[in-house]
Amino acid sequence: IRSVIQYCNAQMMDKLYTWQGVNNALLRDRLSMRGAELLAAESEKNRVAAEADELIESVDEDIQKLKKQVAMVYEKVEWYRNKMDEMGVSPSDIQTLDDVKKLPFTDKTVLRDTFPYGLFAVPLDEIIELHASSGTTGKPIVVGYTHRDMDVWSDCIARLAMMAGVKPGDRCQMAFGYGMFTGGFGLHYGLQKLGCMMIPAGSGNTERHLQMINDYGTTVLIATPSYALHMCEVGEKKGFDWASSSLRIGLFGGEPCPPKMKEEIERRMHITCTDNYGLTEVMGPGVSGECLCSRDMQHIAEDHFLWEVVNPETGEPVPEGEEGELVITPLDKEGIPVLRYRTHDLTYVVTEKCECGRSHARMKKVRKRSDEMLIIRGTNVFPSQVEDILSGIKGVTPFYRIEVDNETGLDRMKIKVEIEPSALSDSYEEMDRFRKMIATKLKETMLVASEVQLIEPGGIERSFGKTKHVIDHRK
């Protein structure tokens, strides 16, 4: 009996040990899983903490820059000093980035009223270059750059070029004009700083541009998107072989580049292109640029520009991600340091980190301006709406023109739509049906009738620079 009991005990102990073993193993496993989780959580915590530190550091740097900038502007620019005194704001009121809201807005009229040098903050012998923007009416707007401004500008351009994949040694052919326009020289200096070879062809003479691409082995083209599209057309007519040309990248900007237009240029030229944004009053190109991850957005150079998005009517901030007017304060401009410049460009901004790894906030590419809105018989119409509708219609080219008048006492909108050769027909009825179909589509979205006129292929004038889509005879 004793030995049976001993045998049973031994069996039970074995089982017990086995269970304990299994339990311990499970426990150990669980603990190690938990350990791994904890480790992962710890490293995530460290990553988030490092990102937060980086953010705090960059915000801190921006605050210091803003404080310094406002103090300098107050001291050196009479217009701002008077304006801030009038508003009861002093530089010491600026302690956080949010305090920027206390500062006065600046718009084109201020630059016009103080033309030419009224807003300059340094003696003219410290200015090494002038640029100007003609605008649509009245006096031009002139801006001046110091040595340091030119340095910062070149850095911003080199940055946007690298975002597009441009590298030192690339051969960059300039199709912007080298005049007072900021596009030509701005990109020229920045690309040289990056170590690229500049081919300063300048604007116009498309056939010569095509010849130069082949002769010099151009790898990067700098142009407005509409001119790039024109180059496609001319190239195709002349039998230029885009597919085997040396061209790899397009750096575009200066005017809206709708996604479909960009896709079309990329497809026809066999290149990758980015669309880059900027404006003369705050620097020129280089304010924001597109990376290759989020193709419809542009990273703002936040270390040099403080951005706000405001309701264009009230000037009040709108929540993140909501469309409004972009307002920019350059943080380290010396020559002409404007505060809270109202761009009139409508966009929204997101601050979440981009897949490309860059942490600078991204603005949605600008498609419309608040001052470009047409009011036709009480209905608001943006040219970008017309563009979007036309881009969805087969047989229509991206070239169009809107003409508005009030000759009869009633607003009239005529939309000239250029068609592709494939859409041409000998039958009047067929062409008229096509025209009416376009007019119906436009009316369905814009809620206002327009007269559509079909224009033969190539019939709408091409521009070497920015394309003017609207002629408003009422102004």
Residues near ligand DLL (CB under 6 A) are 133, 182-183, 253-256, 275-280, 284-285, 343, 345, 365-366, 369
Q: Which residue is nearest to ligand DLL (CB)?
A: 253
Strand order in the sheet with 451-455: 451-455, 412-419, 396-405, 470-472
Shortest Cβ distance from residue 255 to ligand DLL (Å)? Answer: 5
Shortest Cβ distance from residue 107 to ligand DLL (Å)? Answer: 12
Q: In the complex with ligand DLL, which residue's Cβ is closer, 293 or 448?
A: 293
In order of 65, 79, 123, 131, 209, the CA distances from 227 in angstroms are 38, 39, 38, 22, 11
Q: In the complex with ligand DLL, which residue's Cβ is closer, 173 or 343?
A: 343
Shortest Cβ distance from residue 233 to ligand DLL (Å)? Answer: 21
Which residues lie closer than 8 Å to 245 by C-beta, 6 or more apart? 213, 214, 270
In order of 187, 193, 283, 303, 330, the CA distances from 152 in angstroms are 12, 11, 9, 10, 11
Give the strand pairing for 412-419 and 341-347.
unpaired
Looking up tokens 């301006």 gives: 369
Q: In the complex with ligand DLL, which residue's Cβ is closer, 259 or 459?
A: 259
Instruction: Give the span between the Cα atoms of 283 and 341, in whole angstroms.
Output: 11
Q: In the complex with ligand DLL, which residue's Cβ is closer, 183 or 235?
A: 183
Q: In the complex with ligand DLL, which residue's Cβ is closer, 91 or 186?
A: 186
In b/e form, how buried is each residue of 424-453, taking b as 16+ CB within 10 angstroms?
eeeeeeeeeebbeebbeebeeebebebebe
CB 294 within 8 A of CB 315: no
Virtual CA dihedral for 246, 247, 248, 252, nearest 10 degrees?
Answer: 170
The tokens for 90 are 């002093």
CB 386 within 8 A of CB 452: no
Looking up tokens 């300048």 gives: 202
CB 338 within 8 A of CB 330: yes
Shortest Cβ distance from residue 199 to ligand DLL (Å)? Answer: 17
The tokens for 226 are 């509409």
Shortest Cβ distance from residue 258 to ligand DLL (Å)? Answer: 10
Q: In the complex with ligand DLL, which residue's Cβ is closer, 183 or 383?
A: 183
Q: In the complex with ligand DLL, which residue's Cβ is closer, 121 or 346?
A: 346
Shortest Cβ distance from residue 57 to ligand DLL (Å)? Answer: 29
User: Residue 279: enclosing H or E segment and its boundaries?
Assistant: strand 272-279
Shortest Cβ distance from residue 286 to ligand DLL (Å)? Answer: 8
Strand partners, 181: none
For 258, phi then psi, to 5°, come to: -60, 145
Shortest Cβ distance from residue 209 to ligand DLL (Å)? Answer: 17
Shortest Cβ distance from residue 382 to ligand DLL (Å)? Answer: 13
Q: In the complex with ligand DLL, which residue's Cβ is closer, 219 or 276?
A: 276
CB 396 within 8 A of CB 418: yes
How far apart, in Å, do the first and last CA atoms of the chain sit? 117
Shortest Cβ distance from residue 280 to ligand DLL (Å)? Answer: 3
Three-class secondary structure assignment of 423-444: HCCCCHHHHHHHHHHHHHHHHH
Q: Rounded to 5 degrees, what angle do the CA atoms 230, 240, 391 make?
A: 35
For 13-71, give the DSSP string. HHHHHHHHHHHHHHHHHHHHHHHHHHHHHHHHHHHHHHHHHHHHHHHHHHHHHHHHHHH
The tokens for 462 are 């091409």
Q: In the complex with ligand DLL, which residue's Cβ is closer, 412 or 469?
A: 469
Q: In the complex with ligand DLL, which residue's Cβ is closer, 161 or 419?
A: 161
Q: In the complex with ligand DLL, which residue's Cβ is closer, 62 or 325?
A: 325
Shortest Cβ distance from residue 133 to ligand DLL (Å)? Answer: 4
Q: In the complex with ligand DLL, which residue's Cβ is closer, 347 or 450?
A: 347
Shortest Cβ distance from residue 59 to ligand DLL (Å)? Answer: 26
Instruction: Give the span between the Cα atoms of 74 and 85, in whole angstroms.
Output: 9
